[in-house]
Chains A and B, each alone.
Chain A
Amino acid sequence: MAKISRTRFRVRAAAMAMAAVVGWAPASVGQDGDGYTESDFLSRARRLTIEGKRAGEGYYRPDGRMIVFQSEREPDNPFYQIYTLDLETGDSRRISPGHGKTTCAFFQPGSSLIMYGSTQHDPESEALQAEELAFRESGQERRYAWDYDPEMEIYTFDQDTGAYDRLTNVRGYDAEGSYSPDGEWIVYTSMRDAYNRDLSADELKQLELDPSYFAEIYIMRADGSDQRRLTDVAGYDGGPFFSADGTKIVWRRFDEAGLIADIWLMNPDGSDQTQVTDFNSMSWAPYVHPSGDYIFFASNKLGFTNFEVYIVDAEGEKEPVQITHTDDFDGLPVPSPDGQTLSWTSNRAGGDGAQIFLARWDHAKALEALAAAPRRGAGSE
């Protein structure tokens, strides 16, 4: 898993080893018995990003004509920067400042702002870049690259004026944000609760081992005011997005050990937290289809490092339906605003890093497959 780094979620080598201990064996490929193939749902699949070592997390502008994504393509920076890509002209533009670590960008509906997580204020950021480049030069490879940098804060960039604005200002990783459809709220992930109080000895050990244990879902106004916590359960809560009608927030919740994750839904005020999947695997990166009928997510159900994209009905009454069928990583699924195209991140092109892919999405076929899926817990036929 050293090959790719994902930001809305990291697979940690330690977690993999522990998974093996708990007897969670990868199923062999092809055991998925629902009989569908990738081309049943996805057509004209194609690689979108080409430049640079890796790219991922492509999120659409509300008009569907542009995406914003993260990519490692600056020669002197081994960390992600944020770019927009015009889907009509192919023109791309870096919107983050070029230094530091960044992640998880999202267009604000109705404005020229783009929100993203960044360490750009950190005076250490260029030293950290040089250190990482030197480390790579030495030929070593990190077991995992994502360190939940406590300097990560949420910023906006104004595409018209070029101005940056910092919205969060407390120690602890603040990132993985997205706007409500009306553009007035940002839901995001914060690990601030690991830093704003005295931790017990056990908690300190936990922080050392894996700070994501402290991650919770937060919400704030688009100007950064009124920051409030929505979840309060030990283990990594992260990767939240609003549904297209703004009535629900979807996110993924890990167990305390950080091994099993499932998809959850809640109201924007944090009430009515409901578990949607019970898939006994790492199910994460959820995104609600614009119809509201079903939720995309990624899971390694078929093997620790073999992530595939799935869909599940919004009520979670049925077994999920597998969408991608390609070895290695397929995840971070994002439907276009019109629901007709799927953007996802995959390393199916080979090489070291993942890239963003696009395909036409067959919504009718998806509904049909969900209707035919067995009830959750009934087991597969």
Chain B
Amino acid sequence: MTRSEAIRRSAVALVAVLTMVVMLPAGAIGQQSPAQPHVEALAADALDGRLTGSAGARGAADYIVSQLRAIGAAPLPGRSDFRLPFEFTAGVNDAGTSIAIGEASWSATDDVQALSFSDSAQVEGEIVFAGYGLVVPESQDFGYDSYATLDVTDKIVVVLRYFPGDVDQELRGILSRYSGLRYKAMAARQRGAKALVVLTGPQSPNAGLTVPMTFDTAISGSGIAAASISGAVGDALFEHVPDRTVEEMQAELDSGNPHVAGFAIDGVNLSLEVAVTREQHTGFNVAGYLPPTAAAVASDAKPYVLLGAHYDHLGHGMQGNSLARESERGEVHNGADDNASGVAAVLEAGRALVDVERGRGVILAFWSGEELGLLGSASFVETEPVPMAEISAYLNFDMVGRARDNRLALQAVGSSPSWEGLIERANVPVGFNVQIQSDPYLPTDVMSFNGAEVPSLNFFTGSHEDYHRPSDDTTGINYEDLDRVVRLGAIIARNVANQDSPLEFVRVEQVEQQGQRESLRAFTGTIPDYTSEVEGLLLSGVIEGGPAAEAGLLEGDVIVEFAGQTVTNIYDYMYALDAIKIDEPITVVFMRNGEKREIVMTPTARR
């Protein structure tokens, strides 16, 4: 065969590819991407950042419903509306908390404030000071139990915030995991305490201040009354301790010696009244349905395939999870990549699937409340508008509009042995340089469905420096590759819809992450690249002005050692982060252009 003949043949082959996948947008050059109008409509300023429960989110839902109608989707079987409402906690407020120690009492929020997960309650009782209130499970090969020598049954426990400050890095790594306030409250409650009072020690960051009520831990109560107090209230309390000041006590505890014990504070009672109000709002998921066209699969073969994307975003970023810089604060967060891109992908994949033979019905779902903690998908899993046991597989699209270098991450692949083969087959004509990741425990709606034993797959084009900032807008979207994500998703969905047996679900072991991250308080300003499985930690960027940027780290650097700990993956890195200290310089070893380098970085206090 001559070369020109070969070229002619390959042109014929290309035409064959395009006609074979007839249902799929070919992304012809010069034409606008069919996904683009969706991204632009959803990322418009008029929708005000699509905060769950807001008018902007309702407007976004209206747009999605109109598009579902346009492609001919119906509401879910047995329903007449595309919208699926769910209740959620939109905020938490202190409605007047007060504390009295003996004769003295306080009620200003600067002096006493409910913890956001507290129950509303009025309690009175004897006081026990329990050090840092830490309980480290035996499995950590290190014993630490602040309650070992204390009886706190029916008493009010006072503890210090955070964890001992002067311990070595390895111990910090362990202790920091168990120092979250919610975890401390649970430990106190399990030992029979009536209430938990938290004091930020004089040697700790934020010394003497009450703990702000954050929303992200406020979704449910903790079964105990809990409040934080000011340094002044703490001093008043320690006046009843004859031989020690709070400074001396903290200094002893900070050594990390597990035998430094707490004590009962005799001769005085504490009364605490905590009042917390949680604002209940209504959010809306949206779901459309494309019934099977072909002879249905066997009745026991799970008759649905689910495609989903969350459509909510951060509003103006005032809920605590915005990464807006000082100069951008309060601006509308349009969330073009996160996740107008995913909504556009599901709508267009749905349009492509309308015209192909389907042995299973296809559900197109759009979640709200994702940014507040996967609320919409969790409600869907719990209320089961269709039974979870009848869903053959779930394809999730979250941030698919910023593909670079032909890369696409496909995550949660470990949830079924069938994914690799399905991806290989579908990707041959689409041609992404796919990055396969097994772990289904992802900060996106896949988590809800994996928990319900639905084999799940997440499409993700990677994090970037505009993530959760007002600058995540339409100008950054790579529409050509977004169209290819649609093609890939539609081919996989079609193949799942038509295969005889449903996918087998596999439960992937979760890497242990006990305790809570809220205690993490050192800030480095690194943006890990979650799509990469290189040995080490690839940075997809560094936050301007942050410690990493100051130290000279750049996008593309691969961290291999951090503060003396070897880093081979993201978990190693998170663990190493736990163990670093504010204002204490650490050494970072990293690879740049194949060359090993070393810098010193000084973490700062978060916020």
Contacts and interface: CB of A to CB of B under 8 A. Distances in A.
9 contacts: A30-B594, A45-B406, A46-B433, A48-B424, A63-B13, A64-B13, A338-B10, A349-B436, A350-B535
A86 interface: yes
Interface string B15-37: 01100100000000000000000
A351 interface: yes
A46 B426 contact: no
Interface string B454-495: 000000000000000000000000000000000000010000
A52 interface: yes
B9 interface: yes
A90 B6 contact: no
B572 interface: no
Contacts of A340: 7, 10
B432 to A, nearest CB: 6
Contact of A65 (B13, B434, B435, B593): B13
B9 A63 contact: yes
A350 B429 contact: no
A271 interface: no
Interface string A282-324: 0000000011000000000000000000000000000000000
A350 B434 contact: no
B595 interface: yes
A50 B420 contact: yes
A52 B429 contact: no
A29 B593 CA distance: 9
Given A30-B593, A64-B13, A349-B435, A89 B20 contact: yes
Interface string A43-79: 0111111111000000000111100000000000000
A262 B16 CA distance: 41
The 6 A-B residue pairs with the shortest CB-CB distance in the complex, in nearest-first order: A90-B428, A338-B6, A90-B425, A46-B433, A50-B424, A29-B594
Interface in B533-549: 533-535
A48 B16 CA distance: 19
A358 B432 CA distance: 10
| Overall SS of chain A's interface | loop
Contact of B406 (A44, A63, A88, A337): A44
B428 A85 contact: yes
Contacts of A86: 428
A270 interface: no
B431 A46 contact: yes
Contacts of B10: 64, 338, 340
B423 A88 contact: no
B13 A50 contact: no
B295 interface: no
Contacts of A160: none
A339 B3 contact: yes
A300 B392 CA distance: 47
Contact of B7 (A49, A65, A338, A349): A338
A134 interface: no
B104 interface: no
B462 to A, nearest CB: 15
| Overall SS of chain B's interface | helix
Contacts of B7: 338, 340
Given A46-B406, A50-B427, A87-B428, 18 more contacts: A29-B595, A44-B406, A46-B427, A50-B424, A51-B424, A64-B9, A85-B428, A87-B13, A89-B425, A90-B427, A90-B428, A90-B429, A92-B424, A92-B425, A339-B3, A340-B7, A350-B533, A351-B533
Interface in B415-444: 420-421, 423-429, 431-436
A327 B433 CA distance: 17
A327 B594 contact: yes
A62 B1 contact: yes
A272 interface: no
A50 B423 CA distance: 7
Contacts of B16: 88
A180 to B, nearest CB: 14
A30 B597 CA distance: 14
A50 B6 contact: no
A198 interface: no
Interface string B550-594: 000000000000000000000000000000000000000000011
A64 B6 contact: yes
B595 A30 contact: yes
A85 B9 CA distance: 18
Contact of A51 (B9, B13, B420, B432): B420
A362 to B, nearest CB: 15
B484 to A, nearest CB: 11
A46 B533 contact: no
A338 B420 contact: no
Nearest to B5: A338
B459 to A, nearest CB: 14
Nearest to A39: B405
A358 B434 CA distance: 12
A89 B429 contact: yes
A22 B234 CA distance: 72
A208 interface: no
Interface in A84-100: 85-92
Contacts of A64: 6, 9-10, 13
Contacts of A47: 433-434
Nearest to B436: A50
Nearest to B13: A65
Q: Which of A51, A64, A92, A351 gathers most chain B CB within 10 Å?
A: A51
